Structure 1
Amino acid sequence: MRAEALARRQGPRGTRSAAVSMPRGRAAVAAFLLLVALVFGGGGSGAGLANMAVQLAGLAVLAFHRDAVLGFFARAPRLPVVLVAATLALPLLQLVPLPPAIWQALPGRDLVTQSFDLIGVKGAWQPFSLSPARTAIAFFSLLPAFAILALSWNLAERDRRMLLLAVAVGGVIVTALGAQQLASGNHLFVFYDEVVGSADLQGTFSNRNSGALMLDIALVALVGAVPWRRVSPAWKLGTVAMAILLVTGVVLTGSRSGMMLLAVPGLLAVGMGWSAHGFGRDRRKAALILAGAVLALAAGGLLLSGNHRIQQRMARFHSVEDEQRPIIWKDTVEAAGRYWPVGSGVGSFDEVFQVDEALENLSYGRAGRVHNDFLEIALESGIVGIALVAGWAVAVAMLGLRTMQAARHQGRHGAIGLAALGVFALIALQSITDYPLRNQTLLCVAALMLALLIGTGKAEQERNRAQHDSGSHRD
Structure 2
Amino acid sequence: MSDTKAARARRSLDIPFIFFSGFMLAVFFAGGSSWSDEPHLILLRPLAFVVTAIGLWSLRLQHIRQFWAVWLIFGLTVLLTAAHLVPLPYDVWSNLPGRQVIVDIDKAVGLGQISRPLSMSPDETMNALLSLSVPFAVLVLASQFDGLRQRRALGVVLLLSFTSAAVGLLQATDADIALYSRQASQDVAGLFVNRNHQAALLALIFPMAAVAISAGVGMGLPRKIEAFAGASMCLVVVPLVLVTGSRTGLLVAGVALVLVFAFGLLPLKRVAIRPWVRYSVALASVGALVCATIWASRDVAFMRLEDQTEDLRWPVWQSIVDMLSHYLPWGTGVGSYVEAYKVLEPDNLLRPTFSNHAHNEVLEILFTAGIPGAALLLLALAFLAGAVWRGVRASGDAALFKRLGILVIILLAIASISDYPVRTPILSAVFVLAAIWASASKSLFHKSDHQ
TM over 0.5: yes
Residue 131 of structure 1: how far off its partner (Å): 0.8
1:300 maps to what in 2?
A: 289
Residue 447 of structure 1: how far off its partner (Å): 0.9
Partners of 1:170 and 1:388 in 2: how far apart? 31
2:205 maps to what in 1?
A: 218
Alignment partner of 1:385 is 2:373: yes
Maintained 8 Å contact 2:359/2:416 = yes
Give structure 2 stretches of 5+ with no counterpart: none
2:392 maps to what in 1?
A: 404
Alignment partner of 1:16 is 2:6: yes
2:275 maps to what in 1?
A: 286
Maintained 8 Å contact 2:121/2:333 = yes
2:74 maps to what in 1?
A: 84
1:361 maps to what in 2?
A: 349
Structure 2 counterpart of 1:40, which letter? A
Residue 138 of structure 1: how far off its partner (Å): 0.8
Partners of 1:285 and 1:87 in 2: how far apart? 48
1:251 maps to what in 2?
A: 242
User: What percentage of aligned pairs have identical amino acids?
Assistant: 23
Q: Which has the larger radius of gyration?
A: 1
Maintained 8 Å contact 1:172/1:245 = no
Q: Give secondary structure in 2 for the equivalent of 1:299.
A: helix
- After alignment, is 153-162 or 415-424 more displaced? 153-162
Q: Relative to 1, partners in 2 of residues 1:330 and 1:196: Cα closer, same or farther, differing over 3 Å?
A: closer
Residue 392 of structure 1: how far off its partner (Å): 1.2
1:29-428 mapped onto 2 (5 Å cutoff): 29-69=19-59, 71=61, 74-184=64-174, 188-198=176-186, 200-227=187-214, 232-271=223-262, 276-278=267-269, 285-310=274-299, 312-406=300-394, 408=395, 410=396, 412-428=397-413
Q: Relative to 1, partners in 2 of residues 1:389 and 1:173: Cα closer, same or farther, differing over 3 Å?
A: same
Residue 73 of structure 1: how far off its partner (Å): 7.4
Maintained 8 Å contact 2:32/2:425 = yes
Alignment partner of 1:437 is 2:422: yes
Residue 245 of structure 1: how far off its partner (Å): 1.6
Q: Give secondary structure in 2 for the equivalent of 1:194.
A: coil
Q: Relative to 1, partners in 2 of residues 1:271 and 1:66: Cα closer, same or farther, differing over 3 Å?
A: same
Residue 379 of structure 1: how far off its partner (Å): 0.6
Maintained 8 Å contact 1:405/1:460 = no
1:468 maps to what in 2?
A: none
Residue 59 of structure 1: how far off its partner (Å): 0.1
Partners of 2:227 and 2:3 in 1: how far apart? 39
Deviations 1:254-287 (A, max 9, x none): 10110111123312443466873449xx9x9222
Partners of 1:153 and 1:61 in 2: how far apart? 14
Partners of 1:218 and 1:33 in 2: how far apart? 20
Partners of 1:238 and 1:91 in 2: how far apart? 41
1:3 maps to what in 2?
A: none
1:448-467 mapped onto 2 (5 Å cutoff): 448-456=433-441, 459=444
Q: Relative to 1, partners in 2 of residues 1:172 and 1:34: Cα closer, same or farther, differing over 3 Å?
A: same
Q: Give secondary structure in 2 for the equivalent of 1:171.
A: helix
Structure 1 counterpart of 2:97, which letter? P
Residue 438 of structure 1: how far off its partner (Å): 1.4
Partners of 2:318 and 2:125 in 1: how far apart? 24
Residue 211 of structure 1: how far off its partner (Å): 0.8
Residue 13 of structure 1: how far off its partner (Å): 4.5
Partners of 1:178 and 1:427 in 2: how far apart? 20
Maintained 8 Å contact 1:153/1:454 = no
Q: Give secondary structure in 1 for the equivalent of 2:261.
A: helix
- After alignment, is 71-80 or 427-436 more displaced? 71-80
**Number of equivalences:** 444
- After alignment, is 267-276 or 372-381 more displaced? 267-276
Q: Relative to 1, partners in 2 of residues 1:275 and 1:298: Cα closer, same or farther, differing over 3 Å?
A: closer
Partners of 1:235 and 1:77 in 2: how far apart? 28
Residue 94 of structure 1: how far off its partner (Å): 1.0
Residue 43 of structure 1: how far off its partner (Å): 1.4
Maintained 8 Å contact 1:45/1:438 = no
Partners of 2:204 and 2:334 in 1: how far apart? 26
Q: Relative to 1, partners in 2 of residues 1:274 and 1:253: Cα closer, same or farther, differing over 3 Å?
A: closer
Q: Give secondary structure in 2 for the equivalent of 1:127.
A: coil
- After alignment, is 394-403 or 161-170 more displaced? 394-403
Maintained 8 Å contact 2:203/2:252 = yes
Structure 1 counterpart of 2:306, which letter? H
Q: Relative to 1, partners in 2 of residues 1:214 and 1:74: Cα closer, same or farther, differing over 3 Å?
A: closer
Q: Give secondary structure in 1 for the equivalent of 2:81.
A: helix
TM-score, scaled relative to structure 2 = 0.91
Alignment partner of 1:26 is 2:11: no
- After alignment, is 213-222 or 374-383 more displaced? 213-222
- After alignment, is 292-301 or 209-218 more displaced? 292-301
Residue 70 of structure 1: how far off its partner (Å): 5.2
Partners of 1:172 and 1:80 in 2: how far apart? 27
Maintained 8 Å contact 1:152/1:451 = yes
1:4 maps to what in 2?
A: none
